A and B are shown apart, each in its own frame.
Chain A
Amino acid sequence: MLLALITSLFIFLVVTGAMAAEKKYKIATVVKVDGIAWFDRMRVGVNEYAKETGQDLWMVGPAKTDAAEQVQIIEDLIAQGVDALCVVPFSVEALEPVLKKARDAGIVVVSHEASTQENVDVIIEAFDNFAYGANIMKDLGKNMGGKGGYICTVGSLTSKSQNEWIDGAIAYQKEHFPDMHEVTSRIETYDDATIDYQKIKEALVAHTDLKGICGGPMPTSAGAGLAIEERGLQGKVFFTGTGLPSIAAQYLKSGAIQTIQFWDPAIAGKVMNKIAIAILDGKKDEIKDGANLGFPGFESIKQDKDKKSLFYGAGWVVVTKENADEYNF
């Protein structure tokens, strides 16, 4: 009896001792806005990674896209004493002061979709924007047979990454598909499927040689799909661009559009947290050019030539009607 008691006491001590030795990191992932499909998917990734690693990881974000609210959330997290912050900024500039404050307090900062961020340990982008755009054009040019006119859409002429995608797409077209041409300057659609739909219909009337649509913002996939389907232009006019399976699936299946591209926010969430943990473990040297982070699209990350803190994956996913059902966002 006494022996049993001593044994169990011993086991208890060993277990608690082991738990104390392996200190849990507290890492918050702060996103632009909570409650939309994109970041719901990122939360899935963060939570999965928390289970895999046993660390204390969670995701938060403001109820609406608002730079000031995101700053406030980060202020609160600094006060709570987190070990690291993984941030997807709504406004890169607006976050600089508060991220500086975080780093001064010894908090590790990793960011995503923020190639110009200064107060940060590592910026990890899903891909190089120009390469992403080139990949869109590769599919579009192939579908169009390398001939005919095309248009490009962006959410806004001031949105930096989308315009870089389109720059990359146009550069790829000029190099590989010399018989194709852009029929009108890139069209602004304000991330609104209705505007995409109306502008594409209008462009089809205005330019009879229009055979391809290269979509920057996500809603273009739905607007283009509807316009093509309604006019019975399947197989005559092609679309390739950014899109979400949940919104574009019906048009992929009906054959109105061929491929959509995006990056998986769940993986982006995991990669950010993995980098944060590596830095906290004192292994920052392992985040370098050519490093394998062990996630699809991040097997060999590239370091930016000019900015040492900036890294790119090749994390885009191409979806066709065959694999559209594999994604639920």
Chain B
Amino acid sequence: MNKIFKRNELWLFCILALLAFLVGGSNSSFWSRTNLFSLFKSSVVMGVFALGVLLVIVSGGIDISFPAVAVFSFYITVKYLLYIKFTGSIVMPFVMSMTIGIILGLLNAFLISTFKLIPLIVTLGTGSAVTGFLRAFVGTTTLSNLPQPLIDFSRWNIYTETLADGSVIGFSGSFLIFVALALLVAFILRVTTMGRGVYALGGDQIAAVRAGFPVRKIYYFTYGMAGALAGIAGIIHCSLIRLANPRDLEGIELEVIAAVVLGGASLTGGKGTVLGTILGVFLIVLIKGSLILVGIPTDWQKVTIGVVLITATALTAYRSATHGGR
């Protein structure tokens, strides 16, 4: 029991609960199913991105190319599917977007592991190159006539309800995909040898090599996986907003990295959990999605986000420093 209380996740959960009660106290519509379902849906895309970033950060690296990779993957996928007038299963767009993501992730891994370059510089470069390539050779216009399977996916709810005023609310099925991917990443990190290797590499690279971990393979795995998750998050995003916009997702990298760090992952590597990351994502989605509910004027919204983020991070960091929590 004592061990559970020492964990960062519980601490983060308390901050999240406190914030929820504060928001719910000032406006009771916060607790309505309409709002809760909406918050869960908003966390899907950021959550899937965060899982990929978590893997990379735990391994001691960083990836800031993932929004560019996501846009590249979904835009090419949608453009191609429109070209062949695709009407088949939703699996095909997902697999295609994921595959493009994997290829770009492996390119990152190749550059980082072969030339021993700094991940920040490499992913900054690939992100910029990928965006430029997309705009120069593939297209710059926003596509709004998505293939039917993607429109159907955006309408997929596992639970729907008609409210008294005649409006409809639904719990988006896309959340199930997030849960499944989170379980998969948690399983890899906790159970498999590859997962232990990711922690070992992030903890101490030289020790990991001496202990016989296949460092090169681990690089390819983490960045490849981050690319795959970026591709999946991209196609989900594009479906949910029903637009394929080649200028989309700019600036999301900071929010996602903030969520992962808030979740207890260390930017120096070797530390971080899936549960913590999910809580970090929920925290950011909750803050961003409650400003109108609480009635904070538009001019003050950015200030509020900044103050809450710094406070939450400081509390978590202080907690880890004093209790040595993992």
Contact = CB atoms under 8 A, between A and B. Distances in A.
Given A184-B292, A231-B167, A232-B167, A202 B38 contact: yes
A232 B168 CA distance: 5
Contact of B135 (A35, A37, A192, A197): A35
Interface string A188-216: 10001110011101111110100000000
B214 interface: no
Given A157-B298, A184-B292, A188-B301, A193 B167 contact: no
Given A193-B243, A193-B245, A236-B167, A184 B140 contact: no
Interface in B226-255: 237, 241-243, 245, 248
Contacts of A197: 241
A203 B292 contact: yes
A233 interface: yes
Contacts of A63: 135
A291 B42 CA distance: 52
Contacts of A205: 29, 32, 34-35, 38, 293
A254 B237 CA distance: 21
Interface residues of A, number: 37
Given A194-B237, A198-B42, A250-B145, A157 B29 contact: no
Given A37-B141, A184-B292, A222 B242 contact: yes
B144 A206 contact: no
Size bin of chain B's contact surface: 35 or more
A82 to B, nearest CB: 26
A186 interface: yes
A223 B245 CA distance: 13
B140 A226 contact: no
B242 A226 contact: yes
A99 interface: no
A185 interface: yes
A7 interface: no
A246 B301 contact: no
B144 A222 contact: yes
A60 interface: no
Interface centre among A157, A188, A198, A233 (most CB of B within 10 A): A198
A50 interface: no
A188 B289 contact: no
Contacts of B34: 204-205, 231
Contacts of B29: 205-206, 208
Contact of A201 (B38, B145, B245): B38
Nearest to A200: B292
A301 B295 CA distance: 42
B166 interface: yes
Given A193-B241, A205-B32, A231 B298 contact: no
A9 interface: no
Nearest to A35: B140
A329 to B, nearest CB: 8
B292 A187 contact: yes
B304 interface: no
Contacts of B144: 222, 246-250
Contact of B140 (A36, A201, A203, A250): A36
B292 A202 contact: yes
A248 B243 CA distance: 10
A236 B166 contact: yes
B166 A247 contact: no
A201 B292 CA distance: 10
B212 interface: no
Nearest to A192: B248
Q: Which of A230, A232, A248, A250 has the most CB of B within 10 A?
A: A230
B303 to A, nearest CB: 13
B297 interface: yes
B142 A246 contact: yes
Nearest to A245: B144
B299 A157 contact: yes
B291 to A, nearest CB: 8
Contacts of B140: 35-37
B87 interface: no
Contact of B167 (A36, A203, A222, A233): A233
Contact of A184 (B35, B42, B166, B295): B295
Interface string A238-255: 000000001111100000
22 contacts: A63-B135, A157-B299, A184-B292, A186-B298, A187-B298, A193-B241, A193-B243, A198-B42, A198-B289, A201-B38, A204-B34, A205-B29, A206-B29, A208-B29, A222-B241, A222-B242, A223-B241, A226-B241, A231-B34, A232-B166, A249-B144, A250-B242
Interface of B: 27, 29, 32, 34-35, 38, 42, 135, 140-142, 144-145, 155, 162, 165-170, 237, 241-243, 245, 248, 288-293, 295, 297-299, 301
Which 8 pairs from chain A and chain B are nearest by CB?
A: A232-B168, A35-B140, A205-B35, A231-B167, A206-B293, A202-B292, A247-B144, A37-B141
